[in-house]
Amino acid sequence: MKGKYLAFVAFLFVTLALSTGAYAQEEAGTGGGDMLAIGAGIAMGLCAIGAGYGIGKAGSAAMGAIAEKSETATWGLIIVALAEGIALYGLIIAFLLVTKI
C-alpha cells in the first residue's frame, strides 16, 4: 500500500516538473493561470483525501468509544470535526488560488 502512495507522489512531481517547462518561453507577467488552476485542484483533492481518511479513522474510533462509554460522545464529535476542518482549509486555499487567475 505504501508503494502505491509513493508511486502517486512521484508521478505528481514528474507531471508538475514537465508541465512547468512549457512556460519557460513566455514573456514575463503572462500566463501562469493554468498552473494556479492545477494547484487549486491538487490542494482541494489532497485535502479531501486526507480529511476523508481522518474522518474514517477518528469516526470509527469515536463510535467504538461511545459504545463502551457514552460520556465520550462530545470528545468524539470534536475530533471528527477537527478532521473535517482539513477539507475546509483546502477549499479556502483553492478559492484563494482560483481568484488569482
At what angle are helices 33-68 and 73-99 packed, to 10 degrees? 180
| 87 found inside a domain | yes
| 7 found inside a domain | no
| 24 found inside a domain | no
Give the pLDDT confidence of 39-72 residue by residue, as tens digits: 888 888 888 898 999 999 999 999 999 999 989 8
Range of the domain at 84: 48-101
| 77 found inside a domain | yes
The tally of domains found in the chain comes to 1
| 39 found inside a domain | no
Looking at residue 101, its pLDDT comes to 67
Cell 474510533 belongs to 61
| 64 found inside a domain | yes
Residue type, 36: L
The DSSP line for 12-55 is: HHHHHHHHHGGGTTSPTTS--HHHHHHHHHHHHHHHHHHHHHHH
Give me the mean pLDDT over the 16-36 stretch. Answer: 59
Higher pLDDT: 5 or 72? It is 72
Q: How far apart are CA 19 and CA 42, in angstroms?
A: 14
